[in-house]
Amino acid sequence: MEIQVIEALLVEDSKLAFTIVSDMLKKSKKYTFNVKIANSLKEAEELLLENFFHVTLLDLNLPDSLGLDTLKTVHTKFKNMPIIVLTSIDEDANWFNAITLGAQDYLIKGKFDTDLLELSIRYSLEKKKADDRLRVTYRALNVRSQYNKALSVLTEEQDLLHEMCRII
C-alpha cells in the first residue's frame, strides 16, 4: 500500500524558502504533506527524536551548522532517514559529496518546481523501501551463514566423535 500522507521535516531558517517549499508541497496532486519546520540543526534533531517523519528536506546552511557538516550530523544520528538537500550552493563537488555522505538527492533552490520536488521525495521513499528490504535480506543471509557454520562445526565434531568411538 502506497503512502498517501507524507510526514516531512523541513529544516530551513529562511521564512521565504519555507513558504516556497510548503506551497510547492501543497500543490501535490498525489500526496498530502504534513510539514513541520525546524529553524536550526538543534531543533531538527529534537523533532526527529520526538516525531516520525518519512523524509527530511535539509538546508545545509543553518544558524548552528554550516555546509556538509549539517548533513553529516543528521545522517550520522538518523541513518535510516531519507534526506533531500535543498540548498543554494550550486557546485558539482558539493552535490557529489552530499550524495556520498548519504543524501538521497540534492536540489538547488530556485531551480526546481513542484513536480521535481515531489518526484525527488517519491524516489527517496522508494529507495528507502528498497534499502530496508536489502537490509532485511542481508541480515537473513548473515543468520543463515552463521547457522551453516555452526552446523558444519557440529557435523565435524560428530564425525570426530564417531571416529574416536570406532577406534576405541
Amino acid in position 166: R
90 against 10, higher pLDDT: 10
Q: What is the pLDDT of residue 147?
A: 67
Instruction: Identify the top-confidence range among 42-56, 121-135, 144-158.
Output: 42-56
In this predicted structure, what is the pLDDT of residue 148?
67
Average pLDDT, the chain: 89
Q: Is the pLDDT of residue 62 over 90?
A: yes
pLDDT value of residue 3: 67
Across the beta sheet with 83-87, what order do the strands follow?
Answer: 32-38, 5-11, 55-58, 83-87, 105-108
> pLDDT tens digits for 77-126?
999 999 999 999 888 888 999 999 999 999 999 999 999 999 999 999 99
Can you give the pTM of this predicted structure?
Answer: 0.80
**Crossing angle of helices 68-77 and 92-100, rounded to 10°:** 10
pLDDT digits (tens, 9 = 90+) for 35-48: 999 999 999 999 99
Say yes or no to pLDDT of 73 above 90: yes
Side-chain-side CA neighbours of 52 within 13 Å: the count stands at 2
